[in-house]
Chains A and B, each alone.
Chain A
Amino acid sequence: MKKKIGVYICHCGGNISDYVDVEQVRKAVENEPGVFLAKTTMFACADSNQKEMVEDIAAQHLDGVVVASCSPKLHLITFRAVTERAGLNKYNYVHANIREQVSWAHSDNKPGATEKAIRIVKSAIAKVNRSESLEPVKVSATKAVAVIGAGVAGMRAAIELAEAGSEVYLIEREHFVGGRVAQFDDLCVSTETGKTLVTRLYDEVMKHKHVTLFTGAEVIETSGSVGNFNLKVKVVPRYIELRCKEHQLQDAIDVCPVQVPDEFNFNITMRKAIYHNYPSEYPQLPAIDIKNCTRCGECEKVCENINFDQKTEYLNLKVGSILLATGFDPYEPKRGEFGYGEIENVVTLPQFKRIMHYSKDKLMYRGKQIKHIAYIYCVGSRQVDGENKYCSRYCCTATIHSAVTAKNKFKDIYNYHFNRGIRTYGKQEVLYDESSRKGDIYLQSFEDAPPVVEKKGDKTIVKITDILTNNKELEVEADLVVLVTGMVPRKENSIAGLLKVPKGRDNFFNEIHMKLRPVETVIDGITIAGASQGPKNIMESMNSALSAATKSFSIVNAGELALEPTVAKIDKENCEWCGKCDEACPYSAFTKIEYNGKFIAEVNETICKGCGMCLPVCDTNAIELIGFTDKEVESMIDALV
């Protein structure tokens, strides 16, 4: 029990004192056990009051402090800092919320509000009476970061981390770097191609001796926590030796008899079992797709550096932080969705981009020249019935850009945009302007009356009830229907499962706070970047990659981490391992250990967040939450009722 508690009751201008009689509150609590001084103040958070508090604590040797004011979300940290400045351990500070919980909530009942405020302040005093000084949990941190995914976001983050001075392991599941951006030709609003960006980033990555790139690599096991993660990485070989003669490799590709759909081109073309996605691709060495390879031996006959003896390797990496930049998948329309899979000239936007890439003077698809192109927007995004309620952000711009590019590159192109409202935000608006001035036709419908794609004889007809033309029914005979598919989370994202990365309602990785902490996850030490977090364009991906890199670096840089001490604590004598706490824990902070001939639970203090989920499920009441012990909470309840 404390002897010298200081209580400060805030007017908050009039936000509190207009409804709560703060003077009455002060009188009611000044004689509570342990209270040494009780004051009212116009603004507790004002500089002058903070100084007065510091003086009070230091001069009077206060051993506990309560401020009754606004929500702790607003000023808990402020007043903890005040006590620290005065030399008092900050865990001896308790915040009482009499604004959001009292004056604002009960503005219709002033006497009742005052009564409630008194009880809340009394309960805070009860808690501070039992509070203990706590020190942060210190753990060492490995000065290395694993960046998962060598797309543009991952590579950018890797470069930044390496430049800051961290060791970086850049882990890419594919045999080639660049991710989705490598599949893009011209970009907007700049005039570069996706491949140029990938090349520039790859060259920079290669310059840094502190970045180690693993391709064909996948994390298969994880353990540890912030500061000390252990990753087991499986590296699949290319089955081709380095420093191989280029013409021989081309010969090897030419002779390979295997033909499989080329995923890089979204299955509109075929590739061999020995392949690269495009000639200048990085790393500049093809790979053998061993799943589809028939081991016929043809390639070995023409290329001396094919080596089927290369073995899958397993590496153990130790890192302080993990940065996830695993990207997105384009939405795959269901069979029959706007004729997809049923009508042969219905393709997706990513496929259309590849079709443009492979067309020379005339835009050709399946041997037919394309002139009239219908784009159907928001396929797989902003769904009414489906799960994807979100807007994929990039697609309006990407579609209009593709339409303008098609018009510039090929002759006699007519574009028809069947949209649900165009969202070419920011600088991208100029593209919309350009496209419309070039004669592109925009047709709009609401979500409840989407356009219809129909086959009439050998013609493909797209129909719409156009809200821009007084709900008139209009139709276009299209040579090609492009479904503007949005972004969805990666289907195969094993690392997310291993690390238990929280996902939002949209199934993308979830940040702690959309605005204030946009690249951190609730799992300490794991940051997220790029489109793994949600639909983003390249610019936005770079922004998030750079901030995630900075955040990850701040974790590993000092070599030591100071973590919140308010975590779960096991009463070793009482604990009889039942596993319920382990099931309830959203962070996997528990491990089963042997103690005095029995099994008990142990808490990893670096993983535990002090959320308290484990407390109510423990049958033997063997878990205490430091800072919220039973004694503290019970005394608060006693004061309240």
Chain B
Amino acid sequence: MAKINPEFTKELKSYGAFDVNACYNCGNCTAVCSLSDEENSFPRKMIRLSVLGLEEDIQMSLDPWLCYYCGECSTTCPRQAEPGELMMSLRRWLISKYDWTGLSGLLYKSFTASLTAFIILATGVLWFAAYQGFNPEKLLHYGHYFEMIAIAFVFAFILLPDIIRMWWFTFSKEHSKIPLSAYTKAIGDLFVHMFTQKRTLGCDDSQVRWFEHLILVFGYLLLLFTTVFLDWFGTNNTFVIALGYIESAIIFVVTFIFVLSRVKKEKEVSKHSHPSDWFFVIWLFLMGFTAFFVRLFIDINILNTNIWLYVLHLIVLVQWALLIVPFGKWTHFLYRSFAMYFIRVKSLNTK
């Protein structure tokens, strides 16, 4: 027996812009959705659970991760209830539920909190740079050092526990019932979805979006690898340097397109932008852009006289690594692929 909680929609509204109460259960959204199927039927079911405030049911559902936001449901909705945006908001809400620190929820719900966090980190970096006397060599050294530490820390203490929590919620009552073999058999799905996002292609007319997103993911992962493990800013290897240029250029060009479409609001997917969406695309753009020019300044040998650029890059990097990656939109990269993985595990088990 589940208890109805009408307050829930109020809370949910701080995670996104939509009018879920307008829904009169016609089900058009689910009918037009090209990704919804009999086993995982959405978004109507999710809207209903949201209206009734059945948090537990939403928390254990993976449906929000199965939606890739083509926006067909929102354009078809006869009551402008914005089901697509609801699914987006539920993903944000789920992220904050998975996050054991509770910081995700705070940053999603409060723009002021987000801004404060960004400012604190920026001040910290500035203070540290000043403390180091704006010495380029030292800053580059610590910057590189920070990257490695941050990745290890964020992964071990934030992302890993959060994924375990996601698993715990998802399999709420069947943790012990699923044999280990199901997990190992399905592992392929995790990586296929993580690196191809092929489910996006299930949405209508999504080929371009999928391709842009795909090269962005690869550009990002490779740049991460290039800077952290091949020490892009420190290397003399022409191939590595060229690789880094290409990767960072891909990042800022593609994110520029994304930012532009969010400004234009022509497509359903880019009509509604939560602050977390802006932070994500803009910071990714800034990352690529500043990295590109930092390397360029190194190559034309003017970085020493323009150390501000590296300080700027470092600020963006720190904010990205300590806010957006662990508590922001970046996590969808993991949760989407783990959702597909968990669904495969479930279906293997039921078979």
Mark A residues whose CB is within 8 Å of B: 414, 416, 432-433, 436-442, 463, 468-470, 472-477
Minimal beta-carbon separation of B4 from chain A (angstroms): 5
* B144 interfacial by beta-carbon distance below 8 Å: no
Given the contacts A436-B21, A439-B6, A469 and B49 also touching, CB distance less than 8 Å: yes
Contacts of B19 in A (CB 8 A): 437
16 A-B pairs besides A436-B24, A477-B3 with CB distance below 8 A are A433-B79, A436-B21, A436-B22, A437-B21, A439-B6, A439-B9, A439-B21, A468-B48, A469-B48, A469-B49, A469-B54, A475-B2, A475-B3, A475-B4, A476-B3, A476-B4
Minimal beta-carbon separation of A428 from chain B (angstroms): 14
* B25 interfacial by beta-carbon distance below 8 Å: yes
- The answer on a CB contact under 8 Å between B51 and A472 is no
9 pairs, A vs B, C-beta closer than 8 Å:
A432-B24, A437-B21, A441-B51, A442-B25, A472-B54, A473-B2, A474-B3, A474-B54, A475-B4
Minimal beta-carbon separation of A247 from chain B (angstroms): 49
Contacts of B25 in A (CB 8 A): 442, 468
- The answer on a CB contact under 8 Å between A472 and B2 is yes
* B222 interfacial by beta-carbon distance below 8 Å: no
- The answer on a CB contact under 8 Å between B52 and A469 is yes
The chain B residue with its CB closest to the CB of A468 is B25
- The answer on a CB contact under 8 Å between A473 and B1 is yes
Contacts of B23 in A (CB 8 A): 436
Residues of B7-39 whose CB lies within 8 A of A: 9, 19, 21-25
- The answer on a CB contact under 8 Å between A416 and B45 is no
Residue of B1, B45, B51, B52 near A463 (CB, 8 A) is B1
Minimal beta-carbon separation of B17 from chain A (angstroms): 15
The chain A residue with its CB closest to the CB of B19 is A437
* Contact digits for B113-147, partner A, Cβ 8 Å, 1 yes 0 no: 00000000000000000000000000000000000
Interface size on B, residues (CB 8 A): 19
Minimal beta-carbon separation of A147 from chain B (angstroms): 42
Minimal beta-carbon separation of B121 from chain A (angstroms): 38
Cα of A472 to Cα of B51 in the assembled complex, Å: 14
Contacts of A438 in B (CB 8 A): 21
Minimal beta-carbon separation of A432 from chain B (angstroms): 8
Residue of A414, A433, A437 near B6 (CB, 8 A) is A414
Cα of A472 to Cα of B9 in the assembled complex, Å: 19
- The answer on a CB contact under 8 Å between B1 and A475 is yes
Cα of A477 to Cα of B79 in the assembled complex, Å: 29
Q: Pick the most buried of B4, B21, B45, B49: most chain A CB atoms within 10 A of its CB.
A: B4
Given the contacts A436-B21, A437-B21, A474 and B48 also touching, CB distance less than 8 Å: no
Minimal beta-carbon separation of B61 from chain A (angstroms): 12
Cα of A225 to Cα of B45 in the assembled complex, Å: 64
Contacts of A442 in B (CB 8 A): 24-25
Contacts of A441 in B (CB 8 A): 4, 6, 51-52
Cα of A440 to Cα of B4 in the assembled complex, Å: 12
* Contact digits for B141-175, partner A, Cβ 8 Å, 1 yes 0 no: 00000000000000000000000000000000000
The chain B residue with its CB closest to the CB of A414 is B6
Contacts of B1 in A (CB 8 A): 463, 473-475
The chain A residue with its CB closest to the CB of B22 is A437
The chain A residue with its CB closest to the CB of B2 is A474
Minimal beta-carbon separation of B86 from chain A (angstroms): 15
Contacts of A439 in B (CB 8 A): 6, 9, 21
Contacts of A416 in B (CB 8 A): 4
Cα of A213 to Cα of B52 in the assembled complex, Å: 53
Given the contacts A439-B6, A439-B9, A475-B2, A470 and B22 also touching, CB distance less than 8 Å: no
* Contact digits for B308-329, partner A, Cβ 8 Å, 1 yes 0 no: 0000000000000000000000
Cα of A47 to Cα of B179 in the assembled complex, Å: 87
Minimal beta-carbon separation of A167 from chain B (angstroms): 52
Residues of B31-75 whose CB lies within 8 A of A: 45, 48-49, 51-52, 54
Cα of A94 to Cα of B21 in the assembled complex, Å: 65
Cα of A592 to Cα of B284 in the assembled complex, Å: 104
- The answer on a CB contact under 8 Å between A470 and B45 is yes
Contacts of A470 in B (CB 8 A): 45
Cα of A442 to Cα of B9 in the assembled complex, Å: 14
Cα of A439 to Cα of B23 in the assembled complex, Å: 10
Cα of A474 to Cα of B22 in the assembled complex, Å: 21
Cα of A432 to Cα of B79 in the assembled complex, Å: 12
The chain A residue with its CB closest to the CB of B41 is A470
The chain B residue with its CB closest to the CB of A440 is B21
Cα of A272 to Cα of B45 in the assembled complex, Å: 55
Cα of A422 to Cα of B70 in the assembled complex, Å: 32
Cα of A469 to Cα of B49 in the assembled complex, Å: 7
The chain A residue with its CB closest to the CB of B27 is A468
Minimal beta-carbon separation of B68 from chain A (angstroms): 23
Contacts of B21 in A (CB 8 A): 436-440
Contacts of A437 in B (CB 8 A): 19, 21-22
Minimal beta-carbon separation of A474 from chain B (angstroms): 5
Contacts of B49 in A (CB 8 A): 469
Minimal beta-carbon separation of A586 from chain B (angstroms): 48
Minimal beta-carbon separation of A485 from chain B (angstroms): 24
Contacts of B2 in A (CB 8 A): 472-475
Contacts of B45 in A (CB 8 A): 469-470
Contacts of A468 in B (CB 8 A): 25, 48
Minimal beta-carbon separation of B349 from chain A (angstroms): 21
Cα of A255 to Cα of B47 in the assembled complex, Å: 59
Contacts of B54 in A (CB 8 A): 469, 472, 474
